[in-house]
Structure 1
């Protein structure tokens, strides 16, 4: 349905000739707004639903029956006020299968700053800081009548910095962004579980196993997960980032030097190609900031346009409706630039970090750009039909008011547009539009769901897996118990699927078996030698529970796939043995020039133990050249020894510096002493230095290298040795 009127909202200014001019343009009806879209020629775009059936939308998800659930952020951009919460969940239904929404229901309202939804069992998980809620409609009236707090304690101020972007992963974990905000998270469902601190990262959880963990990455609004579970997340000025190492590895001990787990993987930096005019307030603010930077001679450049400042909603396209060249791409909106950007993801031979690049046909343009400045692509999703959906918040202004000078925002109505909202559907032009197929996955038998694990559309595979897990996992919902008894065991079908020709079907089957208790060592062993790197990578993770697979994991540290090899190095660090020590030493010798590989080694107790440096020194291969990466590894190793400050850690390293021929080049000794000094200063284990330490330092004090003597002096100060 279309609105009867469009509000006139632009501020009227008067030029010198007395003719009125608008500072901010008015809103356009959906059909007129669509005419301003400049889209790749291969595609068409149409309205899926518009106001008043949807208002201020920021997230969209399709449930197992094809119903669309939309998050409406009516509070934006202000903090939600208790008693006046405007967050809503809208349920949209296509009852006749014509591909158009004909029923709209308010499924839930009065929510504080709702940002994200995800179907779970027969309900809906909702991010509504400070909580994650589970909503259920128990009487079939299309309105949630129960609300259960699943987790609580999340940061609840500034709607642009709250928890967002829940995604169901192929490994059965639900992942979400936290923007690195502080929070001690508890669950009323798990009262015996200690609070989890999520500061500095994001998080993941599994309700089937009652698990909640912090996760690496400080994503803001947008989380793209590819078919193998690699996470790519959005931050307003950095449109695509990745963290190659999971939190559980980076925090195996607390002594690593400071590091940033987020990696900007874009090879084209912040540049975008905007078609809309620069808003008056933004140009004025940028001019003022630039004048200040220039006066201070900072060298900074403030951009008013054509650079990402409102990146949002990064989404992996795993559908089957687009041409092959667009499959596996990541699409990201920019609400300030009124556009949708596309990245092609590629891997490297040297680093586990991926690279995001522009397509050759988009070197000087975007996948979609609008001249309508109200077009606000806050989020995207891939639907069961294989097409791409754009969630258009459609607002006059998108910005945190505190970021705008007072004199400029006097004439700005930040709520203008809360009466609008559009969701657009993008489809390829060259083929006839697909007939709408309304899925009803919950009515399918387990055998039919297993068959869907080979579906070419990621939406079908993930939802089939999720429902299989909900039906057959220990503690399944009561309504599934009778169904499970009537059906034959699903295990034979799943085990056969682990040998399917499509590696995506194989990994879905493996993790479905993992969740329902049907995964055994035989399947994991076969997966460790799978032809596809994605299957091998996950097999390594699953093999961590089986000590007998350590030789296989060690073998895979030399895998042709960098992602597999790095994961194998991380997993080797879960074991404490001579074999794992030797394997990590080999990784250090071969891979130290990359920061991710250094972290893979040093984040484990084995890789940061005194025995590690002793082994490297005895083998001498590591010390055959003083490269920047190797020197950094030695410095970081020294930092860990100093920060840990355990018995023999510092003594062992100083012994090597004094006696090992491997440290004959002073650069190695300087690096180790530099790290030791920094680590000791940060150590929480303050203790009197052992006599052996003083003795070793006296030897180094007489070294011919000035740099070494200076670092010895620094270390003595840190250890309070006079």
Structure 2
């Protein structure tokens, strides 16, 4: 069961409208209907345009222009990339993605990582080198020391660089992308300011320590694409929501796996999900549904948001630094959002009214990932395809549209663009020499990518001789641009040279945002020998509402070295901030496995059941019990092996392993009346899908809290009727559910009853 409406995962559709509109015409007045018919006729074809022609179809913000950097055959089906210190692009090519509507050959080893270079510095690629090939659906890349991390589901590999050819290959994680499917697997491999590597659609983070790879639990984030701002806070999204993100450092607050949501993480940053295509987009999978398209057949709200980029350079001009850009391939556009800090809370709004930063009239323009380059330009990866919907959720309607408009081919296209000033004389690729002194100076560079890369190269080359100069940098803050100071601090942490005195120097800065970052780095210096000193440094800051959450997030680290001191600090924070949801959740994070004892302590102190910490504690206790139930399904998995497999690959990615749903994706399955009630309704939903809003256990779920629709899987030839019966039976008896099993005959009867049906059910229809 896919997420509530992840119909276009990387996404975007080449799906067509004619059949959809014939089977379920929009409710419009005669003139509007006439306009819609005219629009359908106008966009009856979806021609493949050569790169130069497609470029002419792109409109961008005044004062800027779009340049073609690379196109087929230089690059094919690009889905992820990174730059090296020479300004070369290392691009992941997912050649095997959906060769046709049934995914024939999707398991072929034809994926690649290639190196693209602009050797003559004219802004376009002129050399291509294959670093490694024979990969199955590769999806992410990250440069570390003398090699690259490459995600090839389900595994994560580290491949050493032997003169631009693949060298020794080391398995880092054999469960990096376990379960799920191509649309719902981890991606990103984003190397953040805190020296850890984070992912979207994942709750793991990675770090190389000598010859070992560290893997730790972190917050579950996003769906496709991940980025950071100048303070190292992470931002991401899901297909139907513009922008989500963290208020605090990514490495904190994930100590209690029973907490489904921790305040300050996975927050709604830009709640406005409206989009403004410059062409009709009837090819979205649910385009026949009322409200999905407007009267001109243009998409109304995000359905394929992905590829978040926080732009951290000054090349594009005043007002662009710190903006959040989001790709929407189903509407052939890129959104620009303006972000604003208010204390530690980050909020944002769309940059324009009823228009976009960049949009195209070419339906096959599919921007799926955005990057900032060493030149300060904004880079766009365009898969340039007609069909992007994965076979797992492909409906007969969409399959027919693809066939009618010949969207399956070509398969080998791909483009990379960059956005630069219209007068681009200032565009210059920055290259980084592997020289300690020069790298140190680049920590203050105005381009965030350059600062990040300089930090990473110092850490990767173990330039510990720079420690004294890095410490000196901590004592000099530029109020307008404190970024170099932050990079100096985290570089010391990455080198293993950070000391309590270094963190204390940053805490003493006047900038409150620097103090918060200093607190985030404190775990690196908390030792049994220095516990009392750490407490003396942070204790005065707990009086500040701005710093209190960050101090509370340190409790698990303090507890490891001095449990008594941590307990005393926790009590002080509890009494001062019991109704602050950020502090409350941080305290709960510190009490993994001891939530009941904490609840007793709280109620003994204050019996008010409306206290924020009391309510959130009670929820965590219930969630912990549900997680224990989820782990008790081993026998059920043996009884329904195919059902267990399908649940993990199709349903779990959105509804959660515990069946309790995932925020912003899908509602609960555990104890849902739709699961436990009339089995024929459950079968109908699984076969044909369900369109929200939908009530579950007394709560109505609707977009954007969850996605708008759960597509059915009844038309997927990969699943037999017995398979579908098994997954329904599995779900109806998993966790705390207990209901009658479903048989293959039951599935066949519902198919016969609704023979010829393609559209999803609504709650009203099922009633």
- TM-score clears 0.5: yes
> Where does residue 144 of structure 1 map in the other structure?
166
- Of the three residues 497, 500, 512, the one matched with 1:518 is 497
1:552 correspondence with 2:537: yes
Deviation (angstroms), 1:242: 2.3
Report the counterpart of residue 372 of structure 2 in structure 1: 382
Alpha carbons 1:255, 1:640 under 8 Å: kept: yes
SS in 2 for 1:575: helix
Counterpart residue number, 2:697:
none
Instruction: Please name the residue that 2:238 is paired with.
Output: 235
1:223 corresponds, among 226, 230, 255, to: 226
1:374/1:396 contact within 8 Å kept: yes
**Which residue does the alignment assign to 2:175?**
153
- Quote the residue 1:204 is aligned against: 206
* CA–CA separation in structure 2 for the residues paired with 1:281 and 1:330: 24
Picking from 558, 575, 585, the partner of 1:599 is: 585
Report matched runs for 1:219-298 at 5 Å: 219-244=222-247, 250=253, 252-253=255-256, 263-280=266-283, 282=285, 286=289
Partner residue in 2 for 1:702: none
Residue 499 in 1 paired to residue 475 in 2?
yes
What TM-score do the two structures reach when normalised by structure 1? 0.71
| Partner-residue secondary structure (3-state), 2:285 | helix
* TM-fit CA distance, 1:342: 1.5
Tell me which residue corresponds to 1:565. Answer: 548
In the alignment, is the contact (CA less than 8 A) between 1:389 and 1:426 conserved in 2?
yes
Contact 1:10 1:24 in 2 (8 A): no
Deviation at 1:308, TM superposition (A): 0.9
Which of 402, 406, 410 aligns to 2:400? It is 410
* 1:393 Cα deviation after fit: 0.9
Larger deviation, residues 493-502 vs 308-317: 493-502
How many residue pairs get matched? 577
CA contact (8 A) 1:333 1:339 kept: yes
> 2 CA distance for matches of 1:147 and 1:414?
37
CA gap of 1:644–1:308, structure 2 versus 1, over 3 A, is closer
Aligned residue number for residue 104 of structure 1: 128
Whole-angstrom distance in 1 between the partners of 2:132 and 2:387? 26
Distance 1:223 1:154 in 2: 16
Look at both structures and tell me which one has the larger radius of gyration over its CA atoms.
Answer: 1
Cross-structure match for 2:466: 490
**Any residues of structure 2 matched to 1:343-358 within 5 Å, and which?**
343-349=337-343, 352-358=344-350
Residue deviations 1:657-685 (CA, integer Å, cap 9, x gap): xxxxxxxxxxxxxxxxxxxxxxxxx9xxx
Q: Which moved more, 1:400-409 or 1:41-50?
A: 400-409
Q: Distance in 1 between matches of 2:110 and 2:69?
A: 23
Quick check: 1:257–1:639 contact (8 Å CA) kept in 2?
Answer: no
2:356 to 362, 366, 375: 366
The superposition leaves residues 400-450 of structure 1 with CA deviations (integer Å, 9 ceiling, x where unpaired) of 233332244035156424221111111123x542253451433xx211111
Please say if residues 226 and 235 of structure 2, whose CA atoms lie closer than 8 Å, have aligned partners that are also in contact: yes
Q: Is the 8 A contact 1:313 1:332 kept in 2?
A: yes
Query: Does the CA-based 8 Å contact 1:12-1:20 persist in structure 2?
Result: no
Residues 241, 271 of structure 2: 8 Å contact kept: no
Query: Secondary structure in 2 aligned to 1:308?
Result: coil
**2:144 maps to what in 1?**
120
**Is it true that 1:436 corresponds to 2:415 in the alignment?**
no
How far off its partner does 1:644 sit? 13
CA positional deviation for 1:85: 1.9
Q: Find the counterpart in structure 1 of residue 615 from structure 2.
A: 632
1:96-136 deviation digits (Å, cap 9, x = unpaired) = 22222111222222111111212222322212112222234
* Pairwise CA distance, 1:591: 4.0
Aligned position for 1:542 = 521
Check conservation: 2:277, 2:298, Cα contact below 8 A: no
The yes-or-no answer on 1:135 pairing with 2:165 is no
Matching residue of 2:186: 163
Answer whether contact 2:15 2:284 (CA < 8 A) is retained: no
Which residues of structure 1 form unaligned runs of 5+?
A: 1-8, 181-200, 291-302, 475-488, 646-681, 683-722
Q: Residue 48 of structure 1 aligns with which residue?
A: 69
8 Å CA contact 1:257, 1:636 repeated in 2: no
Question: Does structure 2 conserve the Cα–Cα contact (< 8 Å) formed by 1:206 and 1:212?
Answer: no
How far off its partner does 1:521 sit? 2.1
Q: Distance in 2 between matches of 1:270 and 1:39?
A: 20
State how 1:548-697 maps to structure 2 within 5 Å: 548-559=533-544, 561=546, 564-576=547-559, 580-605=566-591, 627=610, 629=612, 632-633=615-616, 635-636=618-619
- Tell me by how many angstroms 1:627 deviates: 4.9
Q: Counterparts of 1:151 and 1:304 in 2: how far apart (Å)? A: 42
What is residue 687 of structure 1 aligned with on the other side? none
1:66-77 pair list within 5 angstroms: 66-77=87-98
Offset from partner CA, 1:166-188 (integer Å, 9 cap, x none): 111111111122x24xxxxxxxx
User: What's the Cα RMSD here?
Assistant: 3.9
**CA 1:637/1:533 → structure 2, altered by over 3 Å: closer, same or farther?**
same
| Aligned ranges 1:692-703 → 2 under 5 Å | none
Paired residues of 1:608 and 1:637 also in contact (CA < 8 A): no
Partners of 1:39 and 1:369 within 8 A in 2: yes
The whole-number CA distance in structure 1 between the counterparts of 2:169 and 2:626 is: 46
Distance (whole Å) between structure 1 residues aligned to residue 262 and residue 427 of structure 2: 50
User: For the structure 1 residues 111 and 31, does the alpha-carbon distance in structure 2 shift closer, same or farther, using more than 3 Å as the test?
Assistant: same
| Aligned counterparts, 1:702-721, within 5 A | none
Q: State the match for 2:460 in structure 1.
A: 470
Q: CA deviation at 1:232?
A: 1.0
Task: Give per-residue Cα distances to partners, 1:690-716, cap 9 Å, x unaligned.
Answer: xxxxxxxxxxxxxxxxxxxxxxxxxxx
1:312 aligned to 2:319? no
Which residue in the other structure is 1:528 paired with?
A: 507
Q: Given the superposition, is the C-alpha separation of residues 348 and 590 from structure 1 closer, same or farther in structure 2, using an over 3 Å criterion?
A: farther
Deviation of 1:495 (Å): 2.1
Structure 1: how far apart are the matches of 2:442 and 2:260? 46
CA contact (8 A) 1:216 1:261 kept: no
1:413-428 correspondence to structure 2 within 5 Å: 415-428=408-421
Structure 2 distance, partners of 1:247, 1:515, is 15
SS for the counterpart of 2:412 is: coil
1:590 offset after TM fit, Å? 4.7
- SS of the residue aligned with 2:198? strand
Partner of 1:294: none
TM-score, length of structure 2 as denominator length: 0.67
Question: 1:327 pairs with 317, 321, 324, which one?
Answer: 321
Deviations 1:43-81, CA, capped at 9 Å, x for gaps: 111111112211111122110111111111112237796
Please tell me whether the aligned partners of residues 107 and 144 of structure 1 are also in contact (alpha carbons under 8 angstroms).
yes
Alpha-carbon deviation of 1:570? 1.2
- Cα pair distance change 1:67/1:405, threshold 3 Å: same
CA contact (8 A) 2:233 2:249 kept: no
